Amino acid sequence: MKRKFYHFLLGCAMLTAGGNSYAQAPQTRNCSTMDLYQNQVQADPDFLIRRNAIEAFTQKRINSGKVNQRTGVITIPVVVHVVYNTSAQNISDAQIQSQINILNQDFRKLNTDVSKIPAAFAGLAADAQVEFCLAKRDPNGNATTGITRTQTTRTSFSDAGDYIKYNSTGGKDAWDRNQYLNLWVGNLSGGLLGYAQFPGGPAATDGVVCTYTGFGNTGTASAPFNKGRTATHEVGHWLNLYHIWGDDNGACTGSDQVSDTPNQGNSNGGCPTFPKISCSNTPNGDMFMNYMDYTDDACMYMFTAGQKARMDAILDAGGARASLATSQGCVAPGGGTACNVPTGLTVSNLTSTAVTLNWASSGATSYNVRIKAISSSTWSNFTASTNSLGLTGLTASTTYEYQVASVCSGTTSAFSASYNFTAPTGGSGGGSTITVGTGSTGITQAPYGTYYMDQRVQYIITKAELTAAGYTSGSSLSSLAFYVSTAQSQVMNGYTIKLAHTTSSAFGSTSYLTGTNTTTVYSANYTTSANSWNTHAFSTPFVYNGTGNILVDICFNNSSYTQNSTVLGTNLGSYRALYKQQDVSSGGICTTTTGTRSYNRPNMKLTFGSGSRTQEITLGDAVASLSIFPNPVQSEMSLQYTLTDAKENVQVEIYNVVGKLVYTHKIGNKTKGEHVFAMPLQTGEMANLVNGMYICRLVNAGDMPQIRFVIAK
């Protein structure tokens, strides 16, 4: 939120609550930062001067436009000081590693719950480009696990006196704050969940403190703070982030010094329902899912670009924590590198039953790989010794996701973001449905941008992207789909899609491209549907040459407008989107020649096959009088058949590939001629059919025709 500036008297962020299954396990978050602040001012009169200087430097960096330009990742060495009185408080190495993994996921926007961000805020979510490792080298240059363990006679600690941070008071002395993030874990009294020291505080107490029941996501971690977000929140403070509501006790006048967070009246607890309105911040309300609010762990899952800018400033040259960027704490004494999260995930050698998974990483001794069908909640786990892994046993027409984590000496990275691919249809048909793009960026400008009357957009899909997504063969592109997270009721008149081949892999200028073999594949009045793939089944298939890049050209002309629909997309490293919006009631945008380039391109599903409908297959002397479209089927399929005579008790039967009858439906008595029967996949017994190939047979229709089709939900 960006409002009138005033300096916050914040020395820490303290989170308090009442007890549960473990001693004093907190159940709500509260804050009493002023007590600690007063203690710091009394102990160090220059503290406020340093805080003001740090804030002035931060604002100057942000105003200069030099932040958010970093392309590399900063890895911060962490030492975890476990201070325990009982064996239960002496948390395991695994619990500590789970917290490091969570920090890496949250600060790199790799957390799986990032998909829960409301569409109104999704485009603001940022990768902070900060990672964390358990230290491998201590301040004396010796090898370490990055974990210290201290048994204490103290039964509990609080923020008063920071006793957990000194050997002399039953705690553990801090390591050099210029080279490490000190993270203390112990039993905090009075329901205290955790607290942090902002940049500029005393060196001896610099770092983050968490209670042992609110650390990591295993072991002693207790709900509702058992997903590791206490440390994420507190490390945010340690990197100079304020509470999102500005600590003004509901006055609506405070500020977190961030321009892209909404004005908010006070902290939010529990799990609010979107939108949560305060301070007249309609229509989207509070950004309560931000890590710097006070919601439960399960309900916070984002930093913003503005918050990343503040973190950049504190870590950049001249910032209060700049020295951490060059720390050798993550490098073992004998050499080696930090255990980084793998990147560049792709697939190769993809068939209907097998695939080779590939990724980029360095410094790892091995890799943990997990894969599952996106419809499943259970992962299959594998270990690889190189940067690739061959697997068999895939199911045709099934979409999978996989993730990879680096295993280094003594530590393991967080899992990467998921990479999705679809196993192509088996047999000789050569058809498949593939998904290009796996990001969760909310895109409003196109292809359903109805905030303006008219729109034209072009997208480039490269052959390399098609191959990586699982394309192996198929000359006919029969449908295109975009995933809509937020829909609008505005009808887009004359919504037209053209496809063409292009040699361009990106837009080199703001001019629209002219491809070859241009085909108008779709034209209709269209309205979006929320939380689903919006599929455009082509009236004329596009004949793909199998080698070139594909140019998608979409336009529509309206005489009215509303808000934009939001689609999910991916931020790419090159310009593969070009769009223009305008309010001209007379139209004409479809012939415009220039637009605005963008790195953000929607995720797309494309269906390849041998034609706009499935091949028609018959048995014996049966005639080819049965067809299904679209194919593959995603939400509803239409059965078209022709009867040479009137028939009684016509029935549809569907069999799986091993010949088992899985669905029947009595159509009834039908007259001679052509008929169409709609079969939705979302209801009844059809909803139980999993992705794969099936055979549809028409019974009591004379020649009893049958046809193969694919379900790809």
The highest-level CATH class for domain 343-423 is mainly beta
pLDDT at residue 651, as a whole number = 82
Question: If you average pLDDT over residues 222-240, what whole number do you get?
Answer: 94
Is residue 427 predicted with pLDDT exceeding 80? no
Which sign, positive or negative, has the C-alpha torsion 498, 539, 431, 536?
positive
The catalytic residue among 55, 131, 234, 401 is 234
What is residue 400's predicted lDDT score, i.e. its pLDDT?
87
The conformation of residue 162, written as its DSSP 8-state character, comes to G
Does residue 298 surpass a pLDDT of 90? yes
Question: Among residues 418, 463, 494, which one has the least CA distance to residue 608?
Answer: 463
DSSP run (H or E) holding 697 = strand 692-699
Nearest to 707 by CA among 645, 649, 647, 622: 622
Picking from 46, 95, 103, the residue whose alpha carbon sits closest to that of residue 238 is 103
Span of 45-59, 266-280, 566-580, 641-655 with lowest mean pLDDT:
641-655
| Residue 610 confidence class, pLDDT cut points 50, 70, 90 | very low
Residue 356 amino acid letter? T
Q: Is 33 a residue whose pLDDT tops 80?
A: no
With 0-12 / 13-18 / 19 or more C-beta atoms within 10 angstroms meaning exposed / middle / buried, residue 516 is exposed
DSSP assignments along 273-342, one per residue:
PSP---TT-TTT---TTBTTS---GGG--B-BHHHHHHHHHHHSTTSTTGGGGG--TTSBTTB----PPP
Task: Tell me whether strands 706-711 and 692-699 are parallel, antiparallel or unpaired.
Answer: antiparallel
Q: Using the predicted structure, report yes or no on whether residue 474 has a pLDDT greater than 90.
A: no
In this structure, which long-range contacts are made by residues 164-169, counting pairs with CB atoms below 8 Å and at least 24 apart in sequence?
Answer: 164/81, 164/83, 164/209, 165/204, 165/205, 165/207, 165/209, 166/204
Our CA angle for 209, 110, 145, nearest 5°, is 45
Q: Which residues pair with 696 in a beta bridge?
A: 654, 707
- Indicate whether 431 pLDDT > 60: no
State how far the alpha carbon of 53 is from the alpha carbons of 57, 244, 256, in Å. Answer: 6, 21, 17
Kindly list the distances between the CA atom of residue 413 and the CA atoms of 100, 104, 301, 311, in Å, as whole numbers in the listed order.
Answer: 8, 8, 19, 22
Q: Which CATH class is domain 15-67+74-323?
A: alpha beta
pLDDT band per the 50, 70, 90 thresholds, residue 31: very low
Q: What is the CATH number of domain 626-711?
A: 2.60.40.3080
Q: Are 401 and 87 in contact (CB under 8 A)?
A: no
Lowest-pLDDT choice from 236-245, 268-277, 566-575: 566-575
The CA distance from 319 to 703, in Å, is 80
Confidence category of residue 713, pLDDT binned at 50, 70, 90: low
CATH number of 434-609: 2.60.120
618 against 294, higher pLDDT = 294
Domain ranges of the chain: 15-67+74-323, 343-423, 434-609, 626-711
pLDDT, tens only, 550-583? 999 999 888 788 888 899 999 888 899 999 988 8
Task: Tell me how far apart the terminal alpha carbons of the chain are, to the nearest angstrom.
Answer: 40
Q: What pLDDT is recorded for position 10?
A: 34
Confidence check: pLDDT of 638 > 80:
no
The radius of gyration of the chain from alpha carbons, rounded to an integer in Å, stands at: 29
653 is catalytic: no
Tell me what pLDDT residue 633 has.
74
Residue with tokens 């000194």: 166
Of the candidates 429, 431, 428, 423, the one whose C-alpha atom is nearest the C-alpha of residue 352 is 423
Asked, colleague to colleague, whether 343-423 and 434-609 share their fold, the answer is no
Token output for 26? 């907190």
Q: Tell me the mean pLDDT in the region 664-672.
A: 82
Phi first, then psi: what are they for 138, rounded to 5°? Answer: -85, 175
Pick the more confident residue, 22 or 113: 113
Q: What average pLDDT does the chain have? A: 82
What DSSP designation does 194 have?
E
pLDDT of residue 38: 64
Edge-to-edge order in the sheet of strand 577-582: 516-526, 492-502, 549-557, 454-461, 577-582, 596-598
